[in-house]
Amino acid sequence: MTIQWFPGHMTRAKRQIEEKLKLIDVVIELLDARIPQSSRNPMIDEITGAKPRLILLNKADLADSERTAEWSRYFRDKGHMTLAIDANSGTGVKEIAGKAKELLKEKIQRQIDKGMKPRPIRALIVGIPNVGKSTLINRIAGRNIAITGDRPGVTKGQQWIKTGGDLELLDTPGILWPRFDDPIAGFRLAATGAIKEDVLHIDEVACFVLQDLVRGYRPILAERYGLTDLPAELPDLQSAVDVLEQIGRRRGCLAGGGHVDYEKAAGIVLRELRAGKLGRMTLESPDEFSETASEPTT
Ligand code: G4P
């Protein structure tokens, strides 16, 4: 997947989601629990408007559970209902319907007061590419559904996936563009595999992520790569390059003349990070964003 979001694409994606909003009661915004802020679409509030929204922190199996709890609090403080899930294994998925019901409880009560039988809540999953939308839809459906991209007029032919309970899901997710405007988010998206490595230089991505990892998980990193004098901070790019070089030497990533092959070393770090071999890690914390604004994503 190559990220090529031009203004025309954005307008189209926004319009496609807006068309679907008319059909649903609640938006399920899927984020990557390892990078909840960087995996958020910068215009999500504008796109989804006043529609009630449930935030799911997906891939929680790969994220640091303490940080996931911090992020859940952060979003709750901003008035959002939040739930951590692992769409791959299904952990937390059964709780989605209950959360959606809680979110819509006043509307449901009004229907009951009018003597109406509440119908199942209709939801749309939205998120950036690779965040786990198809996995979640398939998990909820209990079978593999061929999930295709949007085509003009496709909303008419869309199917509702019944969950056997109080929730129905639109079978086609809303695809949002990632935060490519912010270089830090770009590095974190690349590090987690949300955007392809060839969009950015792999060694630059690794150096950036090493700075995040040293800040949050220094002892784990030191042990994994045998780094005996790893500093508490990597304040600049050069200090991160030095660490990547040490990792390259420890792992035998050598080019001609005894020089380290940085790309190879970077590939090892990123592969191990994505596969969870370094342990459960979250690359960003709410503290980084809490001062900026009441809703920093917009
Ligand atoms: P999308 O529709 O939003 O684009 O994402 P999709 O469901 O295709 O999921 C992207 C990748 O993320 C898939 O891996 C999927 O298995 C993985 N994934 C989704 N949810 C979870 C989760 O909760 N935990 C973990 N650990 N992984 C999850 P893939 O097919 O192997 O693709 P890739 O890893 O090669 O990118």
SS (H, E, C) 133-162: HHHHHHHHHCCCCCCCCCCCCHHHHCCEEE
**Per-residue pLDDT band at 23 (split at 50, 70, 90):** very high
**Per-residue pLDDT band at 166 (split at 50, 70, 90):** confident
Nearest residue (CA) to ligand 1, atom 6: 132
Is residue 154 predicted with pLDDT exceeding 60? no
Is residue 294 predicted with pLDDT exceeding 50? no
pLDDT at 144: 81
Top pLDDT among 8 and 1 is at: 8
What percentage of residues in the chain have a pLDDT greater than 70? 90
Is residue 197 predicted with pLDDT exceeding 90? no
Of 57, 130, 134, which is best to mutate to test ligand 1, by the most ligand atoms within 8 angstroms of its C-beta?
Answer: 130
88 alpha carbon to ligand 1 midpoint, in Å? 7
Q: How far apart are CA 178 and CA 167, in angstroms?
A: 27
Of 135, 137, 138, 280, which is best to mutate to test ligand 1, by the most ligand atoms within 8 angstroms of its C-beta?
Answer: 135
pLDDT at 151: 57
**Per-residue pLDDT band at 195 (split at 50, 70, 90):** confident
Mean per-residue pLDDT, 16-23 = 93
CB under 6 Å to ligand 1: residues? Answer: 58-59, 61-62, 86-88, 127, 129-135, 193
Do the beta carbons of residue 134 and residue 147 sit within 8 Å?
A: yes
Domains and CATH numbers, the chain: 8-181 (3.40.50.300), 201-274 (1.10.1580.10)
Residue with the two structure tokens 């559904």: 145
HEC assignment per residue over the chain: CCCCCCHHHHHHHHHHHHHHHCCCCEEEEEEECCCCCCCCCCCHHHHHCCCCEEEEEECCCCCCHHHHHHHHHHHHHCCCEEEECECCCCECHHHHHHHHHHHCHHHHHHHHHCCCCCCCEEEEEEECCCCCHHHHHHHHHCCCCCCCCCCCCHHHHCCEEECCCCEEEECCCEECCCCCCCHHHHHHHHHHCCCCHHHCCHHHHHHHHHHHHHHHHHHHHHHHHCCCCCCCCCCCHHHHHHHHHHHHHHCCCECHHHCECHHHHHHHHHHHHHCCCCCCCCCCCCHHHHCCCCCCCC
**Per-residue pLDDT band at 291 (split at 50, 70, 90):** low
| Mean pLDDT across the chain | 90
> What pTM value is reported for the model?
0.92
CA 135 to ligand 1: nearest atom: 7
131 alpha carbon to ligand 1 midpoint, in Å? 6
